[in-house]
Structures are given as C-alpha cells and as structure tokens.
Amino acid sequence: MALLELQGVSRHFGGVRAIDGLDLEVREGEILGLIGPNGSGKSTAVNVITGLYPPSAGRIAFDGRDITAAATHRRLSEGIARTFQNIRLFGGLTVWQNLWVAQNSARDRAARGFLSRWMGGQSGAREGIGKLLAFAGLAGREDELASNLAFGEQRRLEFARALAAKPKLLLLDEPAAGMNAGEIADLDERIRAVRERGVTVLLIEHHMELVMAVTDRVAVLNFGQKIAEGTPAQIQAHSAVRKAYLGGDH
Ligand SMILES: Nc1ncnc2c1ncn2[C@@H]1O[C@H](COP(=O)(O)OP(=O)(O)O)[C@@H](O)[C@H]1O
Ligand SMILES: [Mg+2]
C-alpha cells in the first residue's frame, strides 16, 4: 500500500522547473532511495512533501488523505518527519532540549489532550528521550549545547530529533554527507533499525554504496523528472541513469 503518493507534482521557481510532473509512490514499510545529480530536485521534493513549499501543480496524499494544501505542522503531526541537507538544530539548546521540543511538538497527536500530557506525560517523555539518546549514540551528552557537538554527532541528533516526533515516514536528505566510512556504517545500521520499528523511509543520498545496500527500491530524478525506478540492481544497470550521472553514452 502507498503510504505517500505524489501525482503529477511540480514546483517551479521562476523559470526553473525544480520538480516537473513527478509521480512517486513510497510504499508502507519500505526504504525508498531517491537519487539524482545535483540540482535534479531531490531536496525540493522533500520540501514539497513536508509543506515547506506548496507545489505549483499536482496532488500529494499521505496515509490515504490528501495533504496537498496541509500546513507543515499538520503534516508533522500526521507522521511525516525529516532531516535537512544542511543540519538545522537549535544550536543554543542542549541535546536534551532539542529532543524534548521535537517530542512535544508532535506528541501523541490527537490521542492525548493538553492536560493529560501536562500532568502525566513527563516520565514517559523522559524515558522516550533516553531511548533516543541511546539510539543516536549520545547518551551522556544530553546537557551539551547542540552547537558544541561534532559534525557527525549533530547529524545523529538531527536524526534522533526527527524520530522524536514518532513519524510514520522519515525523509532523510543526504544524511551521509560529510561522514567518514565508520559513520556511514553506523548510519546504515540506524536506517535499518528504524525500518524494523515500522517506520517507512525515503532516503536521498549521493553515497551510492549506502543507497544500494540499504534500499528496497530506488527512484532517479534528472532535471526534476523521474527517469527510472526499480530495485537497486536494476538501477545500477540502467542506461539512462548511467548517462545522467556520467554524461555521454554509457
Ligand atoms: N528556494 C528556491 N528558490 C529558487 N530556486 C530553487 C529553490 N530551491 C531549489 N531551487 C532550484 O531548484 C533546482 C533543484 O534544486 P534541489 O531540489 O535543491 O536539487 P537537489 O536537492 O537534487 O540537489 C535547482 O536548480 C535549484 O537551484
Ligand atoms: Mg539537495
């Protein structure tokens, strides 16, 4: 079943067709890779899915509901969370506070009212944050300011912060950028662990080894359009994909 479905989605910036008539389906429980050269529209797709930019045309459905015009905060509370290509944390807040804010902004959706959250939610929140800290390899660092963390740690915190919102769909925009081989191996494990807990993942990534290792399917963008879609093996063998990446006839 499609958890997320884009139908004919376009987003233009002046004369630039950042994404152009994109049909994309993210199936419940899968890890879908989204790849393409720089400027092919990958981040714009994430920005349109999360509601940062309204689409110029097309329709977006999530979990059976039309969210084309829904506000960003509503999409978050419906279960769409993301990380950014350029890390965006609250640098002046601690590690703990970054997670706490994220957990509370989307917490328990409509199931709990403000009062019960206020009265009874505190110990549960603490426990949840403890688990996220362990997951992100940041146990013991909770009082550190986010801005004082090393780059790889900031990426892990951002990943954990997205999970704090308890998403159904996690959008990761180039999470391996700037990481070393060891950090990428850890990231690979984290992505798999998240999926095992039932979260669907859309992974945007340039690091092909990671994409080919961890995804179930891959979609390829070029100039805002989807030029191929298939299993990692099919995509590696696809001539249009090789052409988009390498130029010339391959
Ligand atoms: N906010 C924006 N304003 C103007 N142009 C943008 C904006 N965001 C993206 N673009 C343009 O849209 C195209 C796709 O960009 P982007 O989605 O960032 O690609 P990718 O993530 O695949 O590298 C590029 O030509 C980029 O310059
Ligand atoms: Mg990008």
Q: What is the pLDDT of residues 147-181, one digit of tens each?
A: 999 999 999 999 999 999 899 999 999 999 989 99
Given its phi and psi angles, is residue 158 left (phi above 0), alpha (psi -120 to 50 degrees) or beta? alpha
Q: Report the atom number in ligand 1 closest to the C-alpha of 173.
A: 21
Give the N- to C-terminal CA distance of the chain in Å, as an integer: 35
**Token match 């030029």: residue?**
227
Counting residues of the chain whose pLDDT is more than 90, the rounded percentage is: 76
pLDDT class of 125 with cuts at 50, 70, 90: confident
* Mean pLDDT value of segment 181-199: 96
pLDDT at 116 over 60: no
- In this structure, which residue's CA is closest to atom 16 in ligand 1? 41
pLDDT class of 127 with cuts at 50, 70, 90: confident
Confidence (pLDDT) at 234: 94
- What whole-number distance in Å separates Cα of residue 175 and Cα of residue 31? 14
Confidence (pLDDT) at 104: 75
Span 63-112, pLDDT tens digits: 999 999 999 989 998 999 999 888 889 888 999 999 988 887 665 554 44
**Would you say the CB of residue 39 lies under 6 angstroms from ligand 1?**
yes
Residue 162: Cβ within 10 Å count: 23
| Inter-helix orientation angle 114-135/95-105, to 10° | 130
Confidence (pLDDT) at 128: 86
How many A from CA of 232 to the centre of ligand 2? 20
Beta-bridge mates of residue 219: 34, 229
> Which of 203, 212, 245 is CA-nearest to residue 227?
245
pLDDT class of 248 with cuts at 50, 70, 90: low
How many A from CA of 38 to the centre of ligand 2? 7
Confidence (pLDDT) at 218: 97
How many A from CA of 33 to the centre of ligand 1? 19
Can you give the pTM of this predicted structure? 0.91
